Chains A and B, each alone.
Chain A
Amino acid sequence: MARSDINETSLEMLHEITDWEGLFDGAYSIRQDGTCADLHSTDTIRIVPKTDNPGIDIYIAAGKKKDTVYIPACVTKSGVDDVVYNDFHVQSGADVIIVAGCGVHTTDDEGARHNGIHRFFLEPDSHVLYKEKHIGTGIGKGLRVIDPVTEVELQEGAYLEMDTQQLAGVDKTVRATKAKLLKDAKLVIRESILTDDDNVAETDFEVVMEGEDSSVDLISRSVAKGESRQAYHSHIIGNCRCTGHSECDAILVGNGKVDASPALYAGNLDAALIHEAAIGKIAGEQIIKLQTLGLTEEEAEEKIIEGFLTGVE
């Protein structure tokens, strides 16, 4: 498959998930329907197709400036079940933005699925910002499924920030994230998930802090509309002097349902772990306030959900 084979559906989804405007500045690998459609390496970011499995190894060296690598994946028709293994090898001192993202499009009553298995190996003092958006589009009764699996190993002083959003239209997702943090490593995860209709979303986090002064900050925002269901499970394990914070907030609209099960394990006297959680409908006073500013009830609800999911830095 070549660049010219990237179809209209992919282009539309690339725009949604990566802000694609016809060009990526930097290294990239564009995947369409289970095949690599285009790939480009740079001096500091080398992308190598795997030989044993579908997928790529991405080697990121320290550069003079912050680099960006794009690795979007699109499934553009029913009947595709794409599994891909992407490994990120981030060398000491590297500072990079990874823009991932996935779109799944159905064309008839048969389902379409993308299963991205990502492994992150961050060497000491490397710095990564990982951005990922998921979207489902299309017609027919076929289920649009995205099942990402993420494994993270942060060595001494490494920093990983993961900003993940499920925008809309994904019928089913099971998201599994596991991380191990060594000394002074820091992991920040911001996840937002929007479900509607009969969508089902499950998200599981397991973060183990093994190194002194490591820290994790896990912020999850969910909106469950229609008849959709979401389940959130997190397990933060502190086996040393470390700090862990998780925050799970969910808004229910219509008959949406959310099951949140946060868990903390402190295996050391100096492990400081905190969890905050809140689930409920939109506060009536928030809608009223925006109505007094001229919005209708529906506009107010939309604005509150939009702000809640996208958040404020």
Chain B
Amino acid sequence: MLELQNIHWELPDGEELIKGVDLAIRPGKLTVITGPNGGGKTTLAKLIAGLYMPTEGKILLDGEDITDYGITERSKAGIAYAFQQPVRFKGLSVKELLKIASGKDMKEFEMCHILEKVGLCAAEYMNRPLDTHLSGGESKRIEIATVLARNASILIFDEPEAGIDLWSFSSLIETFEKLKTEKSGALLIISHQERILNIADEIVLIAEGKIREKGDRDTVLPLLNINGRGCGCPLGREVVNG
């Protein structure tokens, strides 16, 4: 289990973006973090993956204090993070990246198995370079595949739906559902997508650096006002408070 205890994070100029987050991500569960843009969702994911270090608070993984662990140490401890914006590499191939992700010399059938989950054919993509010749959707799907290839206990996906076509997205939903049943690990997805919210076990609403709601899907989903009153905070709190 991953536990965040009173996590704070601020920019170098002192502006606080995460303001005391307490959260438990449980194994075997799909937790979805949602909320308005700029509310702190991606920042929180980066704090978990070690890209940012908290200015206050503790992060525990299965009871072990990993707060001071760097990115590599967190990865080795079992945290995998799919970036919202995939990184391009001149010269590295899909195959090479998957091998690095899995930490072993993957066989072709193993790559087939992983890439199939994101709707890509291994034979067609394995030797492709991860450069600008891949479309946004293709590189996003490969980004997701790198996390699936890892033997991690915490899988974090930052807006996996962004840039992905409708058909691939359906298979991605199936993949997440399968992961819930196959894996003992915990899934953490940052998303605004209703279809992802609909398969969540737990939903966390973050706005202005704070958790506004958290709980099981059936409790939190009705509060999100997905089909409701238009733009702004899903809870309408910005209007109320502003």
Residues from chain B with Cβ under 8 Å of A288 in the complex = 51, 71, 87
For B128, give its contact among A289, A295, A306, A312 (CB under 8 Å).
Answer: A312
**Residue A285 lies at the interface, judged by CB distance under 8 Å to chain B:** yes
Residues from chain A with Cβ under 8 Å of B49 in the complex = 292
Instruction: Check B87 against A312 for contact (C-beta < 8 Å).
Output: no
Instruction: Check A303 against B72 for contact (C-beta < 8 Å).
Output: no
A47 to B120, CA, bound (A): 49
Instruction: Check B83 against A289 for contact (C-beta < 8 Å).
Output: yes
State whether A292 and B93 are in contact (beta carbons under 8 Å apart), knowing that A297-B72, A312-B128, A312-B129 are contacts in the complex.
no
Among residues of B, the one whose C-beta sits closest to the C-beta of A249 is: B90
**Residue A232 lies at the interface, judged by CB distance under 8 Å to chain B:** no
Chain A min CB distance to B123 (Å): 15
**Residue A294 lies at the interface, judged by CB distance under 8 Å to chain B:** yes
A286 to B97, CA, bound (A): 11
Residues from chain B with Cβ under 8 Å of A292 in the complex = 49-51, 71, 74-75, 80-81, 83
A309 to B92, CA, bound (A): 10
Q: How many residues of A contact B (CB 8 A)?
A: 25
State whether A291 and B72 are in contact (beta carbons under 8 Å apart), knowing that A312-B127, A312-B128 are contacts in the complex.
yes
A221 to B91, CA, bound (A): 10
Instruction: Check B91 against A312 for contact (C-beta < 8 Å).
Output: yes
A51 to B41, CA, bound (A): 75
For B101, give its contact among A286, A293, A297, A311 (CB under 8 Å).
Answer: A293
A264 to B76, CA, bound (A): 49
State whether A307 and B72 are in contact (beta carbons under 8 Å apart), knowing that A292-B49, A293-B150, A312-B91 are contacts in the complex.
no
Chain A min CB distance to B75 (Å): 4
27 contacts between A and B (CB under 8 A): A283-B87, A288-B51, A288-B71, A290-B100, A291-B70, A291-B71, A292-B51, A292-B74, A292-B75, A292-B80, A293-B75, A293-B80, A293-B101, A293-B150, A294-B76, A294-B150, A295-B72, A295-B100, A303-B100, A304-B91, A307-B89, A307-B90, A307-B91, A308-B91, A311-B91, A312-B127, A313-B127
**Chain B contact residues, CB within 8 Å of chain A:** 49-51, 70-72, 74-76, 80-81, 83, 87, 89-93, 96-97, 100-101, 103, 127-129, 146, 150
- 6 nearest A-B pairs in the assembled complex, by CB-CB distance: A307-B91, A312-B129, A307-B92, A291-B71, A308-B91, A289-B87
